[in-house]
Structure 1
Amino acid sequence: MRGKGLGTTAAALALIAVSGAGAAQRTPAPAVVSTAHPASWPMLAPPRQRDPKLEARIDALLQRMSIEDKVGQLLQVDIASITPKDLETYKLGSVLNGGNSAPGGDEYAPAAKWLALFDQFYDASMKRSDGRPAVPVIWGTDAVHGDNNIVGATLFPHNIGLGAMRDPDLVEKIGRATALETAATGIDWSFAPTVAVVQDDRWGRTYESYSEDPAIVASYAGRMVQGIQGRPGQDFMGKGHVISSVKHFLGDGGTGGRDQGDTRVSEEVLRDIHAAGYTTALPAGALTVMPSFSSWNGQKMTGNKSLLTGVLKERWGFDGFTIGDWNAHGQVPGCTNEDCPAAINAGLDMFMYSGPNWKQLYANTLAEAKDGRIPAARLDDAVRRILRVKMLAGTFEAGRPSSRPMAGRFELLGSPEHRAIARQAVRESLVLLKNDGAVLPLKASANILVAGRGADAIAQQSGGWSITWQGADVPNSAFPNGQSIWSGIDQATRAAGGKATLSVDGRYAAKPDAAIVVFGETPYAEFTGDRPTLEYSPEDKSDLALLKRLKAAGIPVVAVFLSGRPLWVNPELNAADAFVAAFLPGTEGGGVADMLLAGKDGRPTQDFRGRLSFSWPRRLDQYVLNKRDANYDPLFPIGYGLTYAQKTAPLGRLDESRPAAAAGDRNALFVRGRVAAGDRLVSAGRVNQTRTDRAAQEDSLRLAFADAGTTRIEATAPMDLTREANGQLSLVVEYRVVAKPAGAVTLAMTGGKTASVPVNGLFEAGTGEWGTFSVPLSCFAQGGVDMTKVSVPFALSSSAALTIDLSSIRIASAPPGPVRCGAK
């Protein structure tokens, strides 16, 4: 049976190798067609034979279900928008926890509370007194690099790092471990794996992709599915396995670096490049597929019948069900979040909905099913698929979540076995880009300085989708079974009789033998990570300054770079003697120490084996850099990676010139005391603007309201914040109160109409300390602001005297904790 699985993968890789080679030899004509031709797509081997007994069971169940029951199965609602009590009346198919949803709104809730809440939803779904059949609800979660919403879980490297391993066997082990930890909380469905083949590294989800190379993606996709679900014919959906969802169908990696964008390619490229992961994931038995937010040649995937039905279900024979992405159906032309028969008719089987109006979506869908706008055959087909998956997963027999075999086995979270798998994955995923003078490995017995903002920050080394959606501002205490990179180095040097000293800013009393500087991108997820160029940290060069200062002092410098994508870091490479691309290694920081430090004999205990899964840019504007491309000219090609065993010439000094580039991150409205390029910061009334210091000289703004006045940011061009509002982002302001308000203070946004919320309560606490407040964009949308054309994203008004300092104004995910529409 193992050979059969490998054969399927090999066949898929052969197909990709042939078709991909052809794509490399020509430039496709501009794509204008958004209707696929299924006959030109390969057929896939079915993972299982259809079971007549199971199908007869589904038939009998469908006959007993009312149309209300059937429509209910088509809805999945976020737990932040629904209560267990609702399921006593509305027999919905599924619930999910969105990126920032958790039991009681507590993102640090212990695993036991997750399990208890699922019991409540399950019990309500099974409660019936009308004689119609009870269908168990299932719970979906984004367990994308471990059971990453749960405090104490093992977090593995993100997919970009796994791609650098070139180790499908280890990927399957990671899938298995993730499923076990997910099952321990009772949850039975993971929205993984992501099989995007990213072609433009500016995309904020690049780290969720295994590689720019479709062959690497194909080699992993099926093995991850088998790890999560088990192998067909062996342990498929057995004890400790959960439902897998392959995403995002189709072409999400080709959107020009913009989340939820438009993939403008020929059908041949869509098939041969972007479909690679499905050619192994579906034969491996994946039970669900998630259509993408994105479009293909102008048509939203969630409404593309030729692909959802023609290719996926008919040509490929997929007999599971499709689950929408977060309110993505509302972007289909003619649809809203609460009304979209077009998506169901195109082949979507289950809506994913977040928001207070899910009952309206249910009512509209029910009306459309009754009057035939959703044909009865299509409704029954969707419900049949959902029931089939629930039966194959054993949910009808499994009973309450807490009664299932692995439920409550919280010792599995961060277990020694799973941590060992994660540590191995860290070791295999690190890529050595530079080692001039054979600086590495460092003697573990040496006096080592460990510096940089990422050194003792488990959240930063883990990246997005870590406890919270964005993964930012999560303390080390939320990772009780994790280890920071600093902690791993400290532990290793102590064991070898050496000494490691943590100094985030790189200051020291006695000159060290060497310095390890851990730095890189701060956590982000989805569209908040979209960037205009690949320059690392264009607005803050403090990490570069730290590297240069240590190198100028004659200290050997080892750079450990944390990032969700390849970035232009030529200046940082020049300032370091050795440079390791660590990507986002997860919670096992000790795996980094394993690679950097020698044993007691002075020899490496491990050798680097990681090879780049993405091409590394020579210039900051090389955001489309794939080995198939004409004029391929990377700094480091895909597959590059040094080892200790090989002897290499010094890298030499790299070009640090910066060509003209696009404007800065539009999500950053005000950073380091200045508004985004082209925008204006203006005041009306008696408001005095001066500069003040926070982390650097004059990096913040002081606003002194003598009496009534307003300070606002005026955008030079209307901003479309629709996706940000849909994604539950907020206006996040870093501020310090200098003099408390003497009157009412409001925060407003303008887009056609102006909406404001009271915030003076936020300024009436203490003075002198920097803090952060967040106002959800939905507050302004509910007040009538047209989020498609926001002209004033920030307007702070005071009716009386007030003095505050502003350090940063961003559109971002709110920090962990409750958020609300202002504070009076």
Structure 2
Amino acid sequence: MGVRGRKGLALRMASVAMVAALVPAAHAQQAAATDGAGVAHPELWPKREQRIAPDPAMEKRIDQLLAAMSLEQKVGQIVQGDIASTTPDDVRRYHLGSVLNGGNSDPGGRYNAPAKDWLALADAFYEASMAPSGNLPRIPIMWGSDAVHGHNNVVGATLFPHNIGLGAARDPELLRSIGAVTAKEMRVTGLDWTFAPTLAIVRDDRWGRTYEGFGEAPEIAASYAAPLIEGLQGKIGDKDWLRGPHIIATAKHFLGDGGTYGGKDQGDTRISEAGLINTFSAPYIPALNAGVQSVMVSFSSWNGTKMHGNQSLLTGVMKQRWGFDGLLVGDWNGHAQVSGCTATDCVQAAKAGLDMYMAPDSWKALWQSTLAHARDGSLPMARLDDAVRRILRVKLRAGLFEAGKPSSRPFGGQFDLLGSAEHRAVARQAVRESLVLLKNAGQLLPLKPMSNVLVAGDGADNLTKQTGGWTLSWQGTGTKPADFPHAQSIWSGIAEEVKAAGGSATLSADGSFTKKPDVAIVVFGEDPYAEFQGDRPDVGFDDARSLALLRRLKGAGVPTVAVFLSGRAMWVNPFLNAADAFVAAWLPGSEGGGIADVLFGKADFRGTLPYSWPRSSDQTAVNVGDKDYNPLFPYGFGLKYGQPGDLAPLPEARATVAAADPGVLYAAGRPGAGRQLLLGAPGALSTNPGPELIDARPADHHAQEDSVRLHWTGAGPAMAAIAGDAPVNLTRESNGGLAVELEFRVDAAPSADVNLLMQCSGEKCGGGFPVGSVFKAVQAGQWSRLAIPLHCFEKAGVDMSKVTVPIALSTSGAMTVTLSSARIVSPVGPVLTCN
């Protein structure tokens, strides 16, 4: 799923003419995927027996509801808006069937809103959905949320290890307990639907969502699907199935999301139909047999055909071959990627089998276009009624028609359950079981708690790093310690264990010490990320500071344990060589004490690798069963105490050099890779135009000459443009809510209007906004940030599939601005809106 930007200043659309004279594209747009590919043959797929008995009385009630509903009401049921763009009055007026909260959406737009605000908004949405509207039937709303490692959008909730760690645990019953805890904590805040579990089979660890998959082989996800779904929903036939302490679950993302070429998020899975069946579909039949009530469609394509438009898979396989009678929900504006579609108009997806559009900020225009399609017959009434029937069936099964408002339902408002001791004990167990021991030279582990222990590294007392992406924000960034009131850092857990035994523990992030410690524990690893931003060019881990710390401790003769936090298996040979013991701790969540339990011997290691560990930084797709399978540590590897744990020195030469971040437009005093800074009059830009209209000189911000000072003389119209060597496709970034973020300083305020522009290949292709008022409003001489959602440029006329100039500044007056960086990012702070 994707994310929204936060509210801020408003922008007005600028004329396309403003960008008509920008730099022409250097290369043509890449050819589209081959038409006609990616067609499934349902008769080749395994059969499945229906586990949910037909309910004639329920179907009769649905018939009666459909007969009484207006066309507008039916269309509203299949459209889902984000709470950042949807009000209770919208729900009442447009008869919306559901809402969601994206990764950065909080009630009232309030950063990390308290649990009571979530419940109050849930009540407001429910009451709006049940408000009288003439003779129309009252249909309760559902609220969906990405509760992917606990109720992770709400402050104080229990946070479990991400799925990669749970895959290492190989414990299906643990997953049942985690599902039950998550469901109950969601009920506390009034939510009734989670977009989990992720059943991706991840085949290329460059993918930024690798940690959302349980492993590289189908067996783990297939064994986990049923117990986790039953933990969330309850068991079919039980009186509390989908009710009481349980919620509605979602199997996602159907299908092949973990197999995209190059590990590219939202990319193309290039595989035979037999491969799609045998590798990627395996967890779905257990999920359906457990009664999962919703399935989320993948952003990705199969052999060139977008899943949101793949009728052969959505209808032919999922609904007809497998008999799924719940609802198929889309991903964040995923329908917009179907050929011929936009975020606001895509009848093709509904005709392919999509039952509910996830249209976070585009829902109103989509509602209108879908209504028009229903009226003119381009959306057949039978297909619309089938989609609505499925949604009503799920709501009736969940008892929503009789449940009352969320605060009156079981567990509603019992805020003491969030992060309760009982729930945290389950999370701590999960941490213990998830850890994988890769090296234990000289049987250093387990440690003696009565020792003098040094705890070092930037991950030791860092809950943001410890919990990873999808934690209180989409990318997991921007959080602070106060956002984790019930959590325990890894350092805190170690200190508690050591001090209780009479030892001493010292926290020193940089590893400095006055008295030589008996042992050092160094915690380090990846910074948080999620989809889009988590994609990598290779799997090499680079952290010069942490490596120097490990080597310094080794040189001082201090036995050292490395605790590595990551969302994927990574090439870490230099770190393995520098440490005496090495633990893959993945992304453990809120209970850092679980790591201390194992390091000090209260529990043994039991985790085994759910992903093969790479031998080199370019070994990005190494999977058990491959013809030339040769990882450093194989799938299923994991040491226990007492087993030989020495490791011969490993080669430290990197096989590849990581490519530059494609989201970097300008940083460290230079344009990003494949880009150049062009200056001059519109239509006559070059790298060295002369100083008559505009000039550029190095400037300092964080380091010497890491910025550029741009001076417009006012002698005539001039611009500064960061242009690409070839067109780039920013569609997925736009759909995902990413923004262009500038870090800048106004040295001399503009004397005329200033326009912020973007260009795409093609005649008069582009758009932008006037930002002179923003540049005049900021304090001169002070560094500022400005973020503009990419979808605003799209609304202004930019074709995001072929962007040639991702950012340009233009004015006819005098102005001096120093630019420190320009990036495409997931916005954390305030952003401009495009209303």
Same fold (TM over 0.5): yes
Q: Which moved more, 1:569-578 or 1:521-530?
A: 569-578
Q: In the alignment, what sits opposite 2:577? A: 574
Q: In the alignment, what sits opposite 2:554? A: 551
Q: Distance in 2 between matches of 1:346 and 1:31?
A: 16
Residue 295, structure 1, aligned to residue 298, structure 2? no
Q: In the alignment, what sits opposite 2:198? A: 194
Q: Distance in 1 between matches of 2:710 and 2:175?
A: 56
Structure with the bigger RCO (C-alpha within 8 Å, sep 6+) is 2
Which whole-Å deviations, capped at 9, do the CAs of 1:120-177 have from their partners, x for residues lacking one?
Answer: 1111111124112111111111111100110000110000110000000001100000
Q: In the alignment, what sits opposite 2:289? A: 283
Q: What amino acid sits opposite 2:571 in the alignment?
A: W
Q: What amino acid sits opposite 1:302 in the alignment?
A: H
Q: What amino acid sits opposite 1:642 in the alignment?
A: L
Equivalent of residue 714 in structure 1, options 710, 720, 723 = 723
Q: In the alignment, what sits opposite 1:788? A: 801
Q: In the alignment, what sits opposite 1:265? A: 271
Q: Distance in 1 between matches of 2:424 and 2:71?
A: 47
Q: What amino acid sits opposite 1:120 in the alignment?
A: A
Give the deviation of 1:623 after TM superposition: 0.8
Maintained 8 Å contact 2:183/2:246: yes
Q: What amino acid sits opposite 2:588 in the alignment?
A: P
Report SS of the residue matched to 1:169.
helix
Q: In the alignment, what sits opposite 2:434? A: 429
Q: In the alignment, what sits opposite 1:818? A: 830
Q: What amino acid sits opposite 1:187 in the alignment?
A: L
Q: In the alignment, what sits opposite 1:145? A: 149
Q: In the alignment, what sits opposite 2:11? A: none
Q: In the alignment, what sits opposite 1:16? A: none
Residue 608, structure 1, aligned to residue 614, structure 2? no
Q: Distance in 2 between matches of 1:154 and 1:671?
A: 37
> TM-score by structure 1 length?
0.90
Residue 530, structure 1, aligned to residue 542, structure 2? no
Q: In the alignment, what sits opposite 2:737? A: 728
Residue 41, structure 1, aligned to residue 45, structure 2? yes
Equivalent of residue 335 in structure 1, options 321, 338, 341 = 341
Q: Distance in 2 between matches of 1:113 and 1:199?
A: 40
Which whole-Å deviations, capped at 9, do the CAs of 1:546-590 have from their partners, x for residues lacking one?
Answer: 222332232222211111111111122222222111111111111
Q: Which moved more, 1:473-482 or 1:552-561?
A: 552-561
Q: Distance in 2 between matches of 1:231 and 1:148?
A: 24
Decide whether aligned partners of structure 1 residues 783 and 408 sit closer, same or farther in structure 2, where only a CA change above 3 A counts: same
> TM-score by structure 2 length?
0.89
Identity of aligned residues (%): 55
Q: Distance in 2 between matches of 1:452 and 1:387?
A: 52
Report SS of the residue matched to 1:791.
strand
Equivalent of residue 398 in structure 1, options 397, 403, 406 = 403
Q: What amino acid sits opposite 2:319 in the alignment?
A: K
Maintained 8 Å contact 2:440/2:644: no
Maintained 8 Å contact 2:328/2:354: yes
Equivalent of residue 663 in structure 2, options 664, 667, 673 = 667
Q: In the alignment, what sits opposite 1:5? A: none
Report SS of the residue matched to 1:494.
helix
Q: What amino acid sits opposite 2:647 in the alignment?
A: L
Report matched runs for 1:621-632 at 5 Å. 621-632=618-629
Give the deviation of 1:191 after TM superposition: 0.4
Q: Which moved more, 1:765-774 or 1:153-162?
A: 765-774
Maintained 8 Å contact 1:445/1:496: yes
Q: Distance in 1 between matches of 2:35 and 2:379?
A: 31
Maintained 8 Å contact 2:669/2:708: no
Q: In the alignment, what sits opposite 1:27? A: none
Decide whether aligned partners of structure 1 residues 181 and 683 sit closer, same or farther in structure 2, where only a CA change above 3 A counts: same
Q: What amino acid sits opposite 2:585 in the alignment?
A: A
Report SS of the residue matched to 1:406.
coil
Q: What amino acid sits opposite 1:568 in the alignment?
A: W
Maintained 8 Å contact 1:741/1:802: yes
Which whole-Å deviations, capped at 9, do the CAs of 1:724-759 have from their partners, x for residues lacking one?
Answer: 111111123455x59575757664433343524527
Maintained 8 Å contact 1:31/1:266: no
Decide whether aligned partners of structure 1 residues 193 and 436 sit closer, same or farther in structure 2, where only a CA change above 3 A counts: same
Q: Distance in 1 between matches of 2:508 and 2:668?
A: 24
Residue 645, structure 1, aligned to residue 642, structure 2? yes
Residue 590, structure 1, aligned to residue 590, structure 2? no
Q: In the alignment, what sits opposite 2:71? A: 67
Q: Which moved more, 1:651-660 or 1:288-297?
A: 651-660
Q: Distance in 2 between matches of 1:494 and 1:765?
A: 50
Decide whether aligned partners of structure 1 residues 545 and 750 sit closer, same or farther in structure 2, where only a CA change above 3 A counts: farther
Q: Which moved more, 1:69-78 or 1:192-201?
A: 69-78
Equivalent of residue 392 in structure 2, options 387, 396, 414 = 387
Q: Distance in 2 between matches of 1:274 and 1:136?
A: 34
| RMSD (CA atoms) | 2.5
Report SS of the residue matched to 1:226.
helix
Q: Distance in 1 between matches of 2:441 and 2:776?
A: 52
Q: In the alignment, what sits opposite 1:102? A: 106
Decide whether aligned partners of structure 1 residues 628 and 672 sit closer, same or farther in structure 2, where only a CA change above 3 A counts: farther
Report matched runs for 1:297-316 at 5 Å. 297-316=303-322
Equivalent of residue 318 in structure 1, options 314, 324, 328 = 324
Maintained 8 Å contact 2:146/2:195: yes
Q: Distance in 2 between matches of 1:810 and 1:193?
A: 32
Which whole-Å deviations, capped at 9, do the CAs of 1:219-260 have from their partners, x for residues lacking one?
Answer: 001111111000112241131100001000111111120111
Q: In the alignment, what sits opposite 1:487? A: 492
Give the deviation of 1:428 after TM superposition: 0.6
Equivalent of residue 238 in structure 1, options 243, 249, 252 = 243
Which whole-Å deviations, capped at 9, do the CAs of 1:91-143 have from their partners, x for residues lacking one?
Answer: 11111111111111113101111111111111111112411211111111111
**Structure 2: gaps of 5 or more residues:** 1-33, 681-690
Q: Distance in 2 between matches of 1:518 and 1:691?
A: 36
Q: What amino acid sits opposite 2:471 in the alignment?
A: S
Decide whether aligned partners of structure 1 residues 733 and 51 sit closer, same or farther in structure 2, where only a CA change above 3 A counts: same
Maintained 8 Å contact 1:105/1:818: no
Maintained 8 Å contact 1:740/1:764: no
Give the deviation of 1:721 after TM superposition: 1.0
Q: What amino acid sits opposite 2:75 in the alignment?
A: V
Report SS of the residue matched to 1:487.
helix
Report SS of the residue matched to 2:624.
coil
Q: Which moved more, 1:240-249 or 1:652-661?
A: 652-661
Count of residues in Structure 1 that have an aligned counterpart in Structure 2: 779
**Structure 1: gaps of 5 or more residues:** 1-29, 599-603
Q: What amino acid sits opposite 2:822 in the alignment?
A: I
Q: In the alignment, what sits opposite 1:4? A: none
Maintained 8 Å contact 1:757/1:822: no
Q: What amino acid sits opposite 1:125 in the alignment?
A: S
Q: What amino acid sits opposite 2:308 in the alignment?
A: T
Q: Distance in 1 between matches of 2:548 and 2:822?
A: 25
Maintained 8 Å contact 1:700/1:805: no
Maintained 8 Å contact 2:80/2:363: no
Q: In the alignment, what sits opposite 2:256? A: 251
Report SS of the residue matched to 2:473.
coil
Equivalent of residue 348 in structure 1, options 348, 354, 362 = 354
Maintained 8 Å contact 1:621/1:661: no
Maintained 8 Å contact 1:33/1:266: no
Decide whether aligned partners of structure 1 residues 660 and 312 sit closer, same or farther in structure 2, where only a CA change above 3 A counts: same
Maintained 8 Å contact 1:741/1:760: no
Give the deviation of 1:521 after TM superposition: 1.2
Q: What amino acid sits opposite 2:86 in the alignment?
A: I
Q: In the alignment, what sits opposite 1:633? A: 630
Q: Distance in 2 between matches of 1:253 and 1:31?
A: 22
Q: What amino acid sits opposite 2:605 in the alignment?
A: F
Report SS of the residue matched to 1:228.
helix
Maintained 8 Å contact 2:37/2:305: no
Q: What amino acid sits opposite 2:592 in the alignment?
A: G
Report SS of the residue matched to 2:585.
strand
Decide whether aligned partners of structure 1 residues 70 and 542 sit closer, same or farther in structure 2, where only a CA change above 3 A counts: same
